Amino acid sequence: FFICIFLHIGRGLYYGSYLYKETWNTGVVLLL
């Protein structure tokens, strides 16, 4: 589970797009 989050963050940083960061944050909220 944490690996998926790590990869998602890494992918967001790789593309350097804030849209990915916002999507990740939304995903975290949904998971919580």
Cβ-count burial of 15 within 10 angstroms (0-12 exposed, 13-18 middle, 19+ buried)?
A: exposed
16 vs 1, 11, 12, 20, 31, CA distance in Å?
A: 23, 8, 6, 8, 23
pLDDT band for position 23 (50/70/90)?
Answer: confident
Tokens of residue 9, six digits: 């963050």
Q: How far is CA 31 from the centre of its chain?
A: 12
pLDDT tens, position by position, 2-16:
887 787 777 766 766
The span from the CA of 31 to the CA of 15, in Å, is 23
- Domain range annotation of the chain: 2-31
What per-residue confidence (pLDDT) applies to 20? 62
